[in-house]
Structure 1
Amino acid sequence: MTNSLKIQFVSTAVILLILPLSSSIKARKCPKECSCDDTKLIVGCVGKNLTHIPPTIDENTVKLDLRSNNLQMLSRGAFMHTPFLTHLNLQRCNIVKVKEGAFRALGRLVSLNLANNKIDILYQESFDGLSSLKELHLDHNRIEEIQPGAFTQLGFLNMLVLTHNQLVYIPNMAFQGLQNIKWLRLSHNSLNNLAPEAFTGLFTLSRLNLDHNELQFFPTQTMTRLPEVRRLDMSYNPMTYLGEESVFMAKLTHLYLNHMSLQDLSDQAFSQAPVLSQVDLSHNQLHYLERLSGPKDLITLNLTGNPIYCNCFMRPLKEWATAGGVKLLGACAGPPHLDDEPLQAVTSLDLRCRSRGEILKEEDGKEQESKGSIPTTATPKQSVKCPLNCECDTEAHHATCEGSGHTKVPRGFPIKTQLLDLRGNHFHFLRARSFPGTSQVVSLHLEFCKIHEIEGNAFQGMKSLLYLYLSDNYLTSLDPRAFAGVPDLTYLHLEGNQLVQFPGSALSLTPNLFVLHLERNSISKLEPSGLLSSVTPTLRELYLSNNTITVIAKAALSSAFIETLHLDSNQLTEVPTDALPEAPNLEELNLSRNSIGWVGPKAFQSISQSLRRLYMDHMGMEKMSKDVLLDLGPGLKVLTLRGNQLKVLPDLSPLTGLEMVDLQDNPLLCDCALEPLHRWVENVRLEVTATCDLPPELRGQQVRDVPVFTACPKIIAPSNETAAVEPRISKMQKSKPSSLKPRKVKARPGRAKIQKQPKKPSQMAKKTENKKTVNITN
């Protein structure tokens, strides 16, 4: 080898050795305040008093630990330079505010920890961009408000932790968008009330923690919206009574009601919770219990720490527990000869009653003993400023005068009151400035107050008011300035009044209104005079169920933002097709229980790109255009047609994105006209209940199973408006080769070419695998 060749060889070798060294040096881009693990792509900057996120963190970092710094605020796009993060820890960083779009670049993040900060409001777009997030920790903050839509981008979230915050109230649809949530933790807040629709949409939630709050009643109506919850913790809430059917939860297995103030419990309290296996009633004030109706698989009933008096009144419970193999935990608190005797060891013969005189004598003795045992050092509870016949809790910032017979709005509530409950009084008339000194009230309850009239400026000064409940009063109209002075009003409940017109002029002073409830009024028309875009520019949800609406004018729904519209139980005779183009972002439309006998072509074409849920139950509908669903395509997720008069259904095959469909209680005619439905039912993974009504010999049989469709032509000629349906050979025909004589179909003008329609088997299989399975029950 010549010298020049040797030199060239050595140079090449040196370059090859230097290249990986230089690339590894380049990869070790690590901020001086941090420690970096290049192998595991982990960066830790813990306790460095950082006021901003180091810009030199390597963009390939997967795990970033920023605990115990002083970031204070997360600005928009704060993590744009670290798009590959999967785990982010921001505990104890003195974060006060998370600006909209702060996490917008983190589409791969699966775990986000924001615990032990100072966050007080969750804004509408705070978590935008976190499309893969599975765990979100927000515990030990100061959160007192969840703005509507805060979680709409978290479709894959499994666990949300909101414990140890300052939540007073959960509004309707607060957790909208959490389509895969499994565990929601709301312990250690100041929750006093839950809206009926607070948990609506949480169809996958299996575990809920509401312990250590201030709920005085079991939120039955709210809990019925949770069909999959199996474990519910309500312990450490000040409830005193559970009435009949309080717990209406079909799949609940574990219920924790310990350390409350329960003094009585109906024997029917759990009658609508049939699969309960564990009930914890320990450390309450129960003296005895009747046998419980409902749960057939109960294993353990914990009564530890209750003053159970083991006499004949406990005998039915003991016999019921013995017969059902239920383990009773706890011990007797009396009579004296059974003190501290375990309930499990006591027999029915031990549970005897003495004479009434003996019982009263013993109870009087105990009462005197109790009075004499009060320590002389006990200090009286400190009095707080509160109107007569009202109760004020300065720690929780709540005040209530519910059902106290007031005819005028009481005055003199603590200045920091946030939840003011005045329902069930007799105010009749609200004068101007009826609520002085309530500038910090966030939620005001005025339900069932017999209010006939609200004067202009009645709520003047309530600058923090977000939730206003005027349900079930006697309002027939609203003064144009009724809501002056409450510019931040977000949720307005006017259902159950006697309004005859949409209150457009009054709503013009609520520029931030998000949800409006007008159910159960007497509104007969929606006219352009109440244009939503001008009076309520931010409105997202409008509920008009149970009115007398017959006409919806062309421009009456004008709104660029409205997403949910409920028009069920009105007097419409046709789909308001002309009005729908004014609501281009409409996602949910409910037309059920209107007298709409016919739904024509292109009825929903103007909202086809946005519509996700369509409800048309019990309308008496006899016919649908075969083209009406074509425009909706893969975007539609929910379709219900229950309880109509449909004999034939349009082709559902374009609705490839359906997650739920309800076709029950229609008199379907099972002949060849229904063959497209039969073919569709066989090919989807949804559980579809569709039964034949005619001919009589097939009545009650599932469309999927009847053999009548095997005789139908397999290639159906499409019209000019509809694409041809893919030809298909049934299982029965496959077993009889002699009957498979293909027919020749000549091409005609306007006819779609048959060979273009069928999809490849591999494509069909892939498409089928991607579909979701949804159970449709009667």
Structure 2
Amino acid sequence: MEWISAAVVLLVLTSGSPVKAGKCPKECSCDNAKLSVACVGRNLTEIPPTIDEITVKLNLRNNNLQMILKEAFIHTPHLTHLNLQLCNIIKVKEGAFRSLDRLLSLNLANNKIDVLYQESFDGLSSLKELHLDHNRIEEIQPGAFAQLGFLNMLTLTHNQLVYIPNMAFQGLQNIKRLRLSHNSLNNLAPEAFAGLFSLRRLSLDHNELQFFPTQTMTRLPEVTHLDMSYNPMIYLGEESVSMGKLTHLHLHHMALQDLSDEAFAHAHLLSHIDLSHNQLRYLEPLSGPKELTNLSLTGNSIYCNCYLRPLREWATAGHVKLMGACAGPPHLSDEPLQAVTSLDLRCRGRGEALEEEDSKGNITSTTKPRQTVRCPSNCDCDTEAHHATCESRGHTKIPRGFPSSTQLLDLRGNHFHFIPASSFPGSAQVVSLHLEFCKVREMEGRAFQGMKGLLYLYLSDNDLTTLDPRAFAGVPMLTYLHLEGNRLTHFPGPALSLLPNLFVLHLERNAISKLEPSGLLSSVAPTLRGLYLSNNTITGIAKGALCSASIGTVHLDSNQLTEVPIDALFEAPNLEELNLSHNPVTRVGPKAFEPVSQSLKRLFMDQMETEQMSEDALLGLGPGLKSLTLRGNHLKVLPDLSSFTSLEVIDLRDNPLLCDCNVLPLRRWMKNVRLEVSAMCSHPLELRGQQVRDINIFTACPEKMSPPNKEAVREPRPAKLQKAKPSALRSPRVRTRPQKAKLDRPAKSLHQRKSATTAKNKKTGNNKN
């Protein structure tokens, strides 16, 4: 039946449609029978304008297009397949594909795209496959995929992604395959994959993930195949893999030295686990998987002695095929694991049974193989990778005795409560220290003394209420400090004053209520570039509290600010990004952002309950602003946006706009910018739900609303209104309080107005015969 439907569509396009077959562009080859056009390797700098409207498949591979402009394919609305590989594309503008609501496959591989902008793929409502591999993508903006509700496969391999933020793939409710291989991912936000309820296959191989992202993966209830190979993980702890429908798990070519026997305790449907080419010497029987049939240990240094016997017996009883070979002892070297029997697996030769060894009290022969490197008890150390971990091992004191070459030290998930001075002797080469979820309540001064090379310190999600002023003494190179998720009530200025190279500070999810001048950033953290204070209880920011010539990013969202902290902004002349979303700022006054008008590039003011913004609230920001969001407020009238000529992202949605003459400047501005702007009318009732760009109510607006450009085209006025005074047509002033009753009276008709004028003239003696 499908081929019959296709034939009907083809017949309509070729014979029933009034559109005539266009001339094939001279740079292209056309197949009229297949409705396809190929313009491959022609060094084209723009899309040929004469491509036939009825074209279904368009191949523009290997050209020099560089940028895909808004509605670039408006003349070829029937496309189902579009190939834009190797076209030196740097940017895809919002709305570039808006007319292609029939497109099924889009290939943008092998280009130079670095950012996926909001609504870049708007209009592709039928798209099934999207190829973005081999680009330079390092950022995915919120909403980039929001319009791709039918997408089945998304390929983002061989890009430069380092971090996946929360809700990055929002809108992909039908996605089945997501490929993120060959990036530089080292962190995934907890909600990075939220909403992907249909995802079956996920590829994260060839990245830089050092730990299994357990919390993130639990948001993927339907994933059956997961590839995490070629990531530098050295250990899998208990319940690391908690994915109820997972059947195939690839963990090969990593740095695994050990894994808990309960690492897969909540992955009951696992049938294939690939642990090949790691650094495992032995393995305990795995609890959890009930359907396991294949366990690959190929390429590991498995020592086939008595310690492997429990695994071999477990595999035999459960009909699990063990793949791999013994690395020792010599008489079993290269023997397939599947071929050795329990009797072969002894801790001493010549047929001596394990029970006999125990009876002789031979302790040496019945203990686990000794560590080949110096490492604290109940920890794992890898001298080649320079990693050491004691994650979630129940430690109550900081372990000591790590290899002096250790660069990454992971102690998260233990119960330390108190960290005394000089807790990390011999750790001068440690670059990254993880102490998350350790229930730390107090740190003594000089707790990290001697860690001269420390750049990253993670103290997130502990119970800290204050910081000793000398807590960070001895770590002068510290650059990234994570203190989010604690109970700090004050900005820890004194403690930060010992960190001359601090670049990024995370203080989200604390209990900080005020920012005082005593915490001057210029003196305590002169190099600080990013300050994150989201989800605190900040009610005010004193003048000078943000004083810093280097500060570039400040996040103050989800606090309790009631006004824009304009006084504090005077001290941050190089601020580029400011997030004020989710603060109860009901009114934004004039010139609210003037102190940072020359530097600000990104401004976020979503969900602030804002009812009124002065017409010149954003005065001075001008062409430098790249991103502006005002979504989800209570604005009936928007401020003047005429100076914003370089915006790349704007979000005005979910505001109850009053669509009268006051919105005319917005309408004119929307026509002059090259990005898609979504703004919807809420009043009057007859226009509710309509986009501002689509309404046509401005013919009666007064002359003073006319564009300053004389060449601007105005829509003609209706005949009735040609002689009306401008004052009679001016829209009522928008008020924050309900209008008085007299403003709700119906307007007088033209006849009533003439009668009233005649009566007035008679009374004053001005009546003319």
Q: Does 1:197 align with 2:167?
A: no
Asked if 1:312 is matched to 2:306, the reply is: yes
Mark the CA change 1:138 to 1:482 in structure 2 (over 3 Å): closer, same or farther. farther
String of CA shifts for 1:21-68, please: whole Å, max 9, x gaps.
Answer: 9x9995142111001112221110000011111111112211110111
Determine whether 1:114 maps to 2:86.
no
Change (3 A) 1:429 1:530: farther
C-alpha contact (below 8 Å) 1:423/1:448 kept by paired residues:
no
Query: Does 2:491 align with 1:453?
Result: yes
Maintained 8 Å contact 1:537/1:561: no
Residues 58 and 149 (structure 1), Cα distance of their counterparts in 2 relative to 1, 3 Å cut: same
Superposition pairs for residues 108-507 of structure 1, below 5 Å? Answer: 108-354=102-348, 391=407, 400-403=431-434, 421-424=456-459, 445-447=482-484, 453=491, 469-471=506-508, 475-479=512-516, 492=532, 494=534, 499-502=536-539
- Residues 150 and 174 in structure 2, CA contact (< 8 A), matched pair in contact too: yes
Q: Deviations over 1:264-301 (max 9, x none)?
A: 11011000111111111111111111111111111111
Q: Which shows bigger deviation, 102-111 or 226-235?
A: 102-111
Secondary structure of the 2:315 match is helix
| 1:240 Cα offset (Å) | 0.4
Aligned amino acid, residue 321 of structure 1: A
- Deviations along 1:444-485, whole A, 9 cap, x unmatched? 7455899752559x99xx9x99x8633466745335897899
Higher alpha-carbon deviation: 505-514 or 179-188: 505-514
Match of 1:700 in 2: none
Match of 2:400 in 1: none
| Deviation string, structure 1 residues 193-217 (Cα, Å, up to 9, x no partner) | 1111111111111111000011111
Distance 2:306 2:60 in 1: 63
Structure 2 counterpart SS, 1:422: strand
In the alignment, the residues of structure 1 paired with residue 513 and residue 248 of structure 2 have an alpha-carbon distance, to the nearest angstrom, of 46
Relative distance call for 1:444 and 1:79 in structure 2 (3 A) is: farther
Tell me, yes or no, if the aligned pair for 2:515 and 2:538 is still in contact at 8 Å.
no
Q: Match of 2:650? A: none
User: Could you tell me which amino acid in structure 2 is paired with residue 249 of structure 1?
Assistant: M
Amino acid across the alignment from 1:453 = F
Residues 563/101 of structure 1: CA separation in 2 closer, same or farther (3 Å cut): farther
Aligned pair 1:40/2:34, yes or no? yes
Letter in 2 for 1:76: K
Amino acid at match of 2:491: E
1:94 aligns with 2:132: no
Identity %: 59
Structure 1 Cα separation of the partners of residues 152 and 552 of structure 2: 34
- List alignment gaps of at least 5 residues for structure 2: 1-13, 349-356, 374-383, 387-403, 409-429, 436-445, 570-575, 589-602, 610-630, 637-653, 658-688, 690-769
Q: Is the 8 A contact 1:256 1:279 kept in 2?
A: yes
Structure 1 letter corresponding to 2:42:
K
Paired residue secondary structure (1:64): strand
Letter in 2 for 1:478: L
Q: Partner letter of residue 165 of structure 1?
A: N
Q: Is 1:528 matched up with 2:562?
A: yes
Q: Distance in 1 between matches of 2:586 and 2:255?
A: 55
Equivalent position amino acid for 1:29 in 2: K
Measured against aligned partners, the alpha-carbon deviations of 1:385-424 in whole angstroms (never above 9, x if no partner) come to xxx99959xxxxxx943259776999999xxxxxx73323
Deviation at 1:528, TM superposition (A): 3.4
Asked if the contact 1:244/1:268 (under 8 Å) is kept, the reply is yes
Q: 1 CA distance for matches of 2:371 and 2:512?
A: 55
Q: Offset of 1:104 from its aligned partner?
A: 2.0
Q: Matched residues in 1 for 2:242 and 2:174: separation?
A: 22
**1:257 and 1:334, CA in 2 relative to 1: closer, same or farther beyond 3 A?**
same
CA RMSD, Structure 1 to Structure 2 (Å): 5.2
Structure 1 letter corresponding to 2:115: I
Q: Is the Cα contact below 8 Å between 1:289 and 1:314 reproduced in 2?
A: yes
Structure 1 position 562 matched with structure 2 position 606: yes
Q: In 1, Cα distance between the equivalents of 2:585 and 2:90?
A: 46
Residues in 2 aligned to 1:515 and 1:226: alpha-carbon distance in whole angstroms? 30
Q: 1:540 deviation in Å?
A: 9.5
1:453 aligns to what SS in structure 2?
coil
Give the match for residue 377 of structure 2. Answer: none
For the residues of structure 2 that align with 1:408 and 1:80, how far apart are their CA atoms?
Answer: 64
Check if 1:66 corresponds to 2:60. yes
CA distances 1:78-137 after superposition (whole Å, capped 9, x unpaired): 222222211111111111122222222222211111111111111123222222211111
Taking a change above 3 Å as real, the CA distance of residues 400 and 79 of structure 1, as seen in their structure-2 partners, is farther
SS at match of 2:215: helix
Q: Is the 8 A contact 1:111 1:136 kept in 2?
A: yes
Secondary structure, aligned partner of 1:320: helix
Aligned mates of 1:435, 1:477 — CA distance in 2: 27
> What letter corresponds to residue 538 of structure 2 in structure 1?
Q
Specify the code of the residue in structure 1 equivalent to 2:293.
Answer: I
Inter-partner Cα distance in structure 1 for 2:547 and 2:310: 61
Structure-2 change in CA distance of 1:344 and 1:447 (3 Å): same
- Residue 76 of structure 2 is matched in structure 1 by 82
CA distance in 2 between partners of 1:261 and 1:504 (Å):
47
CA offsets per residue over residues 714-757 of structure 1, 9 Å max, x none?
Answer: xxxxxxxxxxxxxxxxxxxxxxxxxxxxxxxxxxxxxxxxxxxx
Whole-Å separation in 2 of the counterparts to 1:116 and 1:321: 45
Q: Could you tell me whether the CA contact under 8 Å between 1:407 and 1:428 is conserved in 2?
A: no
Are the structure 2 counterparts of residues 49 and 282 from structure 1 closer, same or farther at C-alpha, using a change threshold of 3 Å? same
Tell me: CA distance 1:250–1:242, structure 2 relative to 1, closer, same or farther (3 Å): same
CA distance in 1: counterparts of 2:371 and 2:453, whole angstroms: 42
Task: Letter of the 1:138 partner, please give it.
Answer: L
Question: How far, CA to CA, are the matches of 2:481 and 2:154 in structure 1?
Answer: 28
Whole-Å separation in 2 of the counterparts to 1:38 and 1:198: 45
Instruction: Give the distance between the partners of 1:225 and 1:216, measured in 2 at CA.
Output: 20
CA contact (8 A) 1:429 1:453 kept: no
Distance 1:110 1:332, change over 3 A: same
Query: What SS does the aligned partner of 2:37 have?
Result: strand
- C-alpha distance in 2 between matches for 1:445 and 1:236: 27
Q: Is the 8 A contact 2:538 2:561 kept in 1?
A: no
Match of 2:692 in 1: none
- Cα deviations by residue, 1:698-723 (Å, 9 ceiling, x for unpaired): xxxxxxxxxxxxxxxxxxxxxxxxxx
SS at match of 1:528: coil
Q: Report how many residues are paired.
A: 502
* Equivalent-residue separation in structure 1 for 2:252 and 2:75 (angstroms): 48
